[in-house]
Amino acid sequence: MIGSNRITGIQTQSTPPSVGSFRGILTGSNRMTGIQTQSTPPSVGSFRGILIGCTVFICGEIFGFVIEKGRVFEPSVVCDQMLMKRFVMLKMFLSAVISGMFCMSVMSMLPFTRQKFLNARQTLVNDLQGKGYLTVMLGGFILGIGMALGGTCPGVVFAQLGTGSQNAVYTLLGTLAGALLYGVLEPTLMSLTKPNKPVKYQFLFHVLGSPYHTTAIPVAAILSVIVFTLEIAYPWDTEVKDSESTSMWKASSWPPFFTGFIVGSLEVPLILIVGGLLGASSSYCTVTAQVLVTDKMKQKVPYLVKFKSGLSNWWQVVFVVAAIHGASSSSQLSGTYGTIEGQSVLMSFCGGVLIIVGARLAEGCTSGHGISGMGLLNSLSIATMMSMFIGGMLSARCIQMMT
């Protein structure tokens, strides 16, 4: 989110071995922006590493918890959204985009947060280098097919694991296989879809010639009207099963606009402290890359080599592991652990493969492109999400007719 989303890794001058060994995992090389700074005292570097790790873990816990409360991890909710039967997923998704837009608009205006915002936005631009509309739309379309097939997306797979959802393990295996498959196919796919020249206007506010916030705030207002209209037409408590618990924490579901608001707000600590954007799909590449232990293997899958180390890769892994625990905690509190029916083993596995192949081709998923990219009014992200819904809706209809 992108769905991907790397951070502005900062390189410093030499540090003592004890500090360097600790920071080796947390800092890594800056393949995104190449920004260098003056040497940082060891105590400051160690504190920053701990702060980043704690921030990422807490954000992951919150993400997993509210994804479970929002019920968008349920395969039936995802599939019904693609069939336009229930709108829980769309309401939560748009609410997250709205929240992210508002938070990032504020950060873009405040003098002491503006540079952090600009750095995070630049990581999205760097991630999308070499990508054109054909590339991201094809990736989005494949991602949509996988979502309709497996009833999942890269970010919610971990919530499915945490809640003990049926066949979630097979979905995870599919995602790891998908990461490896894309690593092998990446040179061919990019040679077929790479644009002749880079996209001229990546952000809509550049087309209008206005600052980010003057475009984002009106767009957020329009999206708010859409969410409000959907909620009036399809009340959330009629679309999901709710417990009769009087405790907010033990309730099995929360309003999608509330959970979406929380998810979108996670952009604030991620941008200000971690220096990145919300996303999940590159974490699969980082985990899969660890199997490349010989030079021969690395030569066969060069795409995955760059994911083996560095904070710009590993922070997402920490994030998604925390999300598993957050989702598990939420389901345990509400007494719904292990009660969610999944897709078949074959559909779960194949869906897992396709969502990662599609997300990596597009360089982002529903979190990276959807919440972060659309929140930044990135034209490639908007195109990705449009093609994702088209692919998902067409596939869901085909699956419905066949079954």
- Euclidean distance between CA atoms 325 and 159, whole angstroms: 8
- Euclidean distance between CA atoms 357 and 3, whole angstroms: 12
C-alpha to C-alpha distances, 223 to 48, 83, 351, 352, 386, nearest whole angstrom: 36, 21, 29, 30, 15
pTM confidence score: 0.87
Query: What's the confidence (pLDDT) of residue 44?
Result: 55
Residue 23 lies in a domain: no
Walk along the chain (403 residues) and give the pLDDT tens digit of each residue: 444 443 344 344 444 444 343 333 333 344 333 333 344 445 556 888 899 999 999 999 999 999 999 999 999 999 999 999 999 999 999 999 999 999 999 999 999 999 999 999 999 999 998 899 999 999 999 999 999 999 999 999 999 999 999 999 999 999 999 999 999 999 999 999 999 888 887 899 988 889 999 999 999 999 999 999 999 999 999 999 876 777 899 999 999 999 999 999 999 999 999 999 999 999 999 999 999 878 888 888 999 999 988 777 899 999 999 999 999 999 999 999 999 999 999 999 999 999 999 999 999 999 999 999 999 999 999 999 999 999 999 999 999 999 8
Structure tokens at 161: 């694991």
What is the per-residue burial (b if ≥16 Cβ within 10 Å, else e) of 300-317? ebebbeebbbbbbbbbbb
Number of domains in the chain: 1
Cβ neighbors of 223 (< 8 A, separation 6 or more) are 94, 97, 98, 101
Residue 32 lies in a domain: no
Burial (CB count <10 Å: 0-12, 13-18, 19+), residue 140: buried
Residue 369 lies in a domain: yes
Burial (CB count <10 Å: 0-12, 13-18, 19+), residue 24: middle
Residue 27 lies in a domain: no
Question: Which residues, listed in sequence order, are joined to residue 378 by a DSSP beta bridge?
Answer: 203
Structure tokens at 141: 């379309």
Query: What's the confidence (pLDDT) of residue 241?
Result: 82
Q: Which domain holds residue 164?
A: 42-402
Residue 120 lies in a domain: yes
Residue 374 lies in a domain: yes
How many C-beta atoms surround the C-beta of residue 273 within 10 A? 16
- Euclidean distance between CA atoms 94 and 163, whole angstroms: 24
Residue 306 lies in a domain: yes
Residue 13 lies in a domain: no
